[in-house]
Structure 1
Amino acid sequence: MSKFTIFVSGSINLPARAVVKELNKHDDKITKLRLGLLPGQTTLDLVRGYTEVFYINPSERNTINVALEGVDAAFVWDSELEDKSHLNDFIDIAVEKGVKQLVVLSAYNTNPLAAEDIEKYIISKQIPSYTFLRVPFFTHHLNLYTDSIIKEKVLPLPIGFEGTFSPLDDRDFGEVVATILLAGVTENPYNKMIYTLTGPKLYSGPQLAEKLSIIMNDQIDFRGTSQNEAEAFLIQAIPSEFRNKNQLVKHYLEFYRLIRDGEIGMTTDDVKKIMGDEKSPRDIEGYFGEVLLQTISI
């Protein structure tokens, strides 16, 4: 059985953490699992005997050089909060170091078409195997509203009453990425493919509030807010010490606009295409139910 040295970028972020957690279930296929972190970050709960932690300073190419030395496969992603040149540096160095396989989250909580530039850049490189994943909306971005749901019984979102979206559970994302990374390069069925990953159902704001009411066994109301109200909410809800807070607020407001304008109202079967017909992506009640119940029990 082939074993791989795998690099996971941004390992403290929730999508990447989900990838690492899933890879840790397949330790028989892993020689080394390298976690890419920013200086000062830590993920002790993810560390196993084969884990190596590399601190990446995106402005210092040598830190990327060291992390990708001897790597067979890597998961990297295009954060809307980072300079686009940083991901390009990862790609260029991956080519220099002979990384054979890339799995790329090329659209992260945005319109899938926004991924085209970075995808074209990667296609232009001599990489044996690459797979592009586009995710219009992750479920975990609703975590900011936990207190409002529990304490005020309100879900306040600036998406109008008609805008719809289909949140993807982080755990499904982790399973998809791990499956592709561990498929190797030879006869990899996911090579040179583009997948748009979504949850199984579309929700409008009122429909989501109705679902939350069932989860909570209490009445949760949807409140369609203005962009200004949403911005004030986000500024208060996101911790001040959060890196790139102002950019993150703008990013949230942008994907709320995408929902409101009907640009990401879609569902796909791409999770099943990768995981098999027997695997249905988790509906939002599984993720949000756990988050809410854990919060209430604290």
Structure 2
Amino acid sequence: MSPRNVCITAVDGQTGYLIAELLLTDSTFSKHVNSVTGLSLHPSSPKCKELTKLGAKIVTHKHGKVRDMVKTLKETGCDAICLIPPTHKDKFDITLELIEAAKKANVPNNLFLSSAGCDLADAQKQPRLHEFLELESRVLATKGLPETALGTSPVIIRAGFYAENLLLYSPQVQEDSVLPLPVGETHQFAPIALGDVAQVAAHVLSGKGKNGFSDKHRGQLIVLTGPKLISGPLLATEASEALGVKLEFEDISEREAKRVLHAQSKSDESEKEYLLEYYSLVREGKTNYISTLAFHDVTGNHPTEPSEFFKMYAEGFMPEHPQKKRKTENGR
């Protein structure tokens, strides 16, 4: 089977960047991949420049016309697209355009990165989360259509709450030894490390079978969460033990959570809304589950434990280290 040509959208974001980096530098995947093209709304961003040095081709993502996007995708020569909704106020419309363009460009393999919890979100109370369900249905609607190859090998990954989002609260951890989250005292969720999601995506994108993606992955709806259900107070305990500093959990109101995000996050407003909606799912008890079987099945490994996550990012939380400015992203 010939090496794969992969196109990754929103490649300037954390998720797209990590997936591209793995495909380019990790021999587990790179030996199965011939080329990596990144679509970016910000092609001059530092991440795009880094990926260019690693061998990726960066293409400017000009949205607004399906016809132009079809031409762009055809010019990349990709036979697999990793469709990540971009951080943008018009994320939904841009993603719909990408799905339609990939269909018309006849790209045979499609990996769509969605969000865990979208199936439990209320269209009125959690519209940003719920819109992922509509996007999933558009991807799945291509399955078996005779006029396009796009439906040959669809895969959807529903990624849970990225643990990296906790870095948004590092100022409070550093200054007040407090972890402030609007998730209540009792209900639980299972944060997943971004690198774990990228690992699964890289396995899917580099896997091959007679019909496109590997038969092990083709047609799968993969739900990914971290390996441990954890409440706000337990999360503070895990962080305390990992960092060696006593932290307290503070259950803040949604109004205060909005103020914190506006003050400390540079993300697009839609991404902040997404985070607040996910927190509301936690408060409603709709995230009281873990889903790790798919991660084990795809990678053969165990997902990152919360304690391991806090150790990995210790210098981002600990006051004695200069805080590294990392742009966090919820998924998409």
TM-score after normalising by structure 1 = 0.90
Give the alignment of 1:190-205 within 5 angstroms: 190-205=217-232
Aligned twin of 2:80: 73
Equivalent of 1:287 in 292, 300, 309: 309
Q: C-alpha offsets along residues 114-147 of structure 1, whole Å, 9 cap, x if unaligned?
A: 4432222222213210101112311111110112
d(CA) in 2 for partners of 1:21, 1:39? 17
Q: Does 1:34 align with 2:37?
A: yes
Q: Which amino acid aligns with 2:73?
A: L
**What stretches of structure 1 of length at least 5 have no aligned partner?**
none
- Residue 290 (structure 1) shift: 2.2
Q: Does 1:272 align with 2:289?
A: no
d(CA) in 1 for partners of 2:262, 2:42? 25
Aligned twin of 1:117: 134
- Residue 273 (structure 1) shift: 2.0
Aligned twin of 1:104: 112
d(CA) in 1 for partners of 2:66, 2:44? 19
What is the total number of aligned residue pairs between the two structures? 291
Aligned-pair identity in percent equals 21
Q: Does 1:17 align with 2:17?
A: yes
- Residue 92 (structure 1) shift: 1.6
Q: Which amino acid aligns with 2:196?
A: D
State the superposition RMSD in angstroms.
Answer: 2.1
TM-score after normalising by structure 2 = 0.81
**What stretches of structure 2 of length at least 5 have no aligned partner?**
121-129, 146-150, 323-332
d(CA) in 1 for partners of 2:98, 2:152? 16
> Which runs of structure 1 show a deviation greater than 6 angstroms over 4 or more consecutive aligned residues?
none
- The answer as to whether partners of 2:167 and 2:316 remain within 8 angstroms in 1 is no
- Residue 28 (structure 1) shift: 2.5
| Alignment CA distance shift 1:287-1:21 (3 Å) | farther
Q: Which amino acid aligns with 1:54?
A: V
- The answer as to whether partners of 1:5 and 1:31 remain within 8 angstroms in 2 is yes
Aligned twin of 1:152: 176
Q: Does 1:177 align with 2:204?
A: no
| Alignment CA distance shift 1:284-1:196 (3 Å) | same
Aligned twin of 1:46: 51
d(CA) in 1 for partners of 2:264, 2:199? 29
